[in-house]
Chains A and B, each alone.
Chain A
């Protein structure tokens, strides 16, 4: 039958056009041409109604089969071509992955503040509060309340900056402890970080520096509690492997007084040329002791009922040890070549 032959021709032409298409656009052209509204095959389908029932059935069937076959071919070819085209596009979109990303520059925290934050976090975790007090302090809180009355030799050990009459730049953060004890009854567990001042300037001393002091007053506190607390603190800051030792010392407001050394976190004492401990195996870390009963009494606390321990450390020197900083004077110059390393 002539119509069926034409359908066969159209189908073959369409399939060959689909096979030969090289882009999804060419495929779309082929689809419009062979299956579109005004395509010949579509026209044939529309004219089926004018045919005899017998023809109608046969032509209808072969036209539908041809359409389906062409659609199938189109679909397969589309998938094939668009996959290739996507790949092509991705290839074209490739970037140099070694170029730097959009910068989100990291800022810096000052090395002394890093140590202060670490130490404060440790004590906060134990249940300590954090107290602060004025840097321009009264003579009484800075000296007398700590057992250093006017004329006492210990005053000459602390080169003091004097302000207005009776005011000094605090030489230590101890007055904060006194203020704390006067303002609250025991138990007291507090650390006091802050800036302190001494009239001293040479390669190993700056006239401003930091201290962190701590104070615990409670029933039954012992030197063992002091040692255990500070050993745990040292491990928090310098690593789990360090050990501590106590040495006798002398401070005006503690009795017994001790100094605490931390084993060298770098060499553990095994390297005679160690840059951190200079071969000593120990780093002098802080001064401490049991709060002198006279200081407790001055603060209105009964030393028979309560005992306490106090300690003071220098976060600047701790930072020097921990980060390998050779010169204290670098700390307070605002030199970005220094600050950007932390």
Chain B
């Protein structure tokens, strides 16, 4: 809501700088979106009378005028050609400052002195018209300040009105609010008129769709002088409030809308056949609107029609047919109240939002119609001049009455956490238009119908609190009667993220929705289907992710195009899979989703709510290592992404995990593994299949990745003390030649299992080549033996013999000498 301050002052007196005004509104009422200035913000604008006007000797497009400023004649160079000797014009004097901040100086234009400037309507902030110099009528006396007639500068504050306060969509509401903040009075000057024109009753009024139209008032103004525009003061205000002046009749309706918040429509009575009918749209009914579009109505849309055709989509926009125009001499003024939710639906259905629909959809006060009608017909009687009908046709079968809301002061003090005096509360509510009765600590407010948001005690508490001032609320901490903490799962995810970051990886957060290729390109999951967004921002991004991998791969590819040499990123977040309820449960699922309630399936069976959600949502942790993950140092080679770099991280996160081939097909078939914890599948790890890398634009980079269920990760392990002996351990090494296909991990694990004095097995080399037979490899194992007392060579030799025999038996391993 754009509020020109000079207009606001018509209703309420205030001596405040604009900054303070903005602060007060911000702290007690509504946010201010901006402050705008129009016209001349400082300096002097006086009425001048043009004495001479002719072409500039040195410029084709310029003119030069001699202007009398009330006994003083000055020369002014002008760009516009419309002044003439005898014309009265506004002249801004040198030294004045314009709204855009420029300061006017005495200037020489093409060799001629120019003292000040003659001004257009736009330069004065009256309208957007910059077609010529504003010509003032004879009542404007040369030499007098123009400000004696109308303001030459304007400050406009733009209030960001919250949806619960449609009353602040009008100047009167804003004035009431400001007066309540300042604890002062406000007034609404009357617009007197005499009735006596043609009767409204010559037309009929029939409201057929009563449910969509709680009130409809119609009044006729006849004998209008055609072809006039609204008076300058009115156009000026309409312009400053952000609307466009159109003609005398339309401007009067808009002006009163800006005053009261109540949209008003004017019909050309000569074009209305028989009378006004408020009815639902008919099947396939079409209407061509003012904006030139033709719309098809449906049976839930409210139409204001005459006996023959639709004239207006109620509360949204009128048709060209019966609109008032410059030639209108007889008008029917509509002030109506429509059901807000229906207007919202209609405007959404049509994709057409207008100033009026925006107001109606929030729910207006039907009682505002009386004030608005009185003011608009009064203004029309004055300009363009017309005769107000003695009668108003009104359909208002169920008048809305003010309602009583009790307010217990102890309750207010509890909610606000500060003392609230009975007198203060009563006077604050009174300033908002409530009638308040007090009985000790109990108040009762009769709420005016324009404050439909004040229904309950708590609504009044808010009003009292904000008007007293939220700065008065103390800062206190409640005593929380419970220990806080993260759940074990949350704690684990937290540690997991910290650990991965400590290990040198960077945490990313990527979109949980993405393109279809995310699932298609990870061909293993291609057929499983993804959860679809019905209305994605672009058709491209309509799938919820089933894996964290594709988002991270896209990120890696972006980093590659940025020229990075590689990196390691991880993300912890949700992945989604469709989980449609069985056919039998589909009705129950929809009901649960819309109402939260669950039907019993039988005497003692209720469906599990999770099974009605339709989406299975799980936490996941994904890691992508791509390119060079650690650059070469002066004493260390670079680390590039590879299977074992990824596997090492998995081993750190999931102690005791086992790895076996048979990973998803988007991975390198020979360099990937399924990760298991015990018998439970926990995820996968591997290098990307070259085809996958290519699809994601990562060809040329080695890429290794893994994705795990965070639930199986053990970033920290609950420690448990194991006794140890302090006699020295004995270490021995052994190189064994086995066939290339023998899994070394199994060898090590198998040896570990033989028990005895063996405390530790470590693989420290795997070698193929010279001195190792074709198709074989040499595996170097290190052993540590530990006894209760110092071991003898003979004891250790015996253990080594056991190990050698075991390796021979299980893996056909031959000790290499």
A residues apposed to B, CB below 8 Å: 99-100, 102-110, 112-113, 117, 120, 123-130, 132, 134-136, 138-141, 144-145, 150-154, 156-157, 161-167, 169, 187, 189, 195, 199, 201, 207-208, 216, 218, 220-225, 227-229, 231-232, 244-250, 255-259, 290, 292-293, 307, 331-337, 339-340
Contact = CB atoms under 8 A, between A and B. Distances in A.
Contacts of A110: 507-509
B504 interface: yes
Interface of B: 26-31, 162-165, 340-341, 344-345, 348, 361-362, 414-418, 456, 458-459, 461-462, 465-466, 470-471, 473-478, 480-487, 490, 494, 497-498, 500-513, 531-537, 544, 551-552, 554-556, 558-559, 562, 564, 567-569, 573-574, 576, 580, 589-590, 592-596, 613-615, 617, 630, 633-636
Contacts of A130: 485-487, 490
A102 B636 contact: yes
Q: Give the interface centre of B475, B497, B509, B512 by most chain A CB atoms within 10 Å.
A: B509
Nearest to B474: A224
A136 B473 CA distance: 38
Given A220-B414, A224-B417, A250-B163, A124 B466 contact: no
A109 B499 CA distance: 10
A316 to B, nearest CB: 9
Contact of A167 (B487, B593, B635): B593
A218 B478 contact: yes
Given A225-B417, A225-B476, A333-B555, A165 B593 contact: yes
A136 to B, nearest CB: 4
A contact patch SS: mixed
A248 B633 CA distance: 58
Given A113-B507, A156-B344, A248-B462, A139 B535 contact: no
A99 B377 CA distance: 89
A195 B596 CA distance: 22
Contact of B490 (A132, A134, A138, A249): A132
Contacts of B580: 164
7 contacts: A127-B484, A129-B484, A136-B615, A151-B345, A216-B478, A224-B417, A336-B559
A140 B562 contact: no
A138 B163 contact: no
A207 B537 contact: yes
Contacts of A117: 494
Contacts of A223: 415-418, 465, 470, 473
A316 B537 CA distance: 21
A107 B507 contact: yes
B473 A127 contact: no
A134 B462 CA distance: 33
B430 to A, nearest CB: 19
B414 A222 contact: yes
Contact of A248 (B29, B481, B485): B29
Nearest to B615: A136
B558 A225 contact: no
A328 to B, nearest CB: 12
Contacts of A161: 513, 533-536
Given A134-B613, A138-B596, A249-B162, A256 B533 contact: no
Given A110-B507, A127-B480, A128-B480, 15 more contacts: A107-B506, A108-B501, A130-B487, A144-B595, A151-B345, A153-B344, A163-B534, A189-B480, A189-B484, A195-B512, A201-B537, A256-B462, A307-B414, A333-B558, A336-B567
Given A124-B486, A245-B27, A109 B480 contact: no
Contacts of A154: 163
Contact of B416 (A129, A222, A335): A222
Q: Give the interface centre of B466, B470, B595 by most chain A CB atoms within 10 Å.
A: B470
Contact of A157 (B163, B531, B533, B569): B163
Nearest to A282: B26
B506 A339 contact: yes
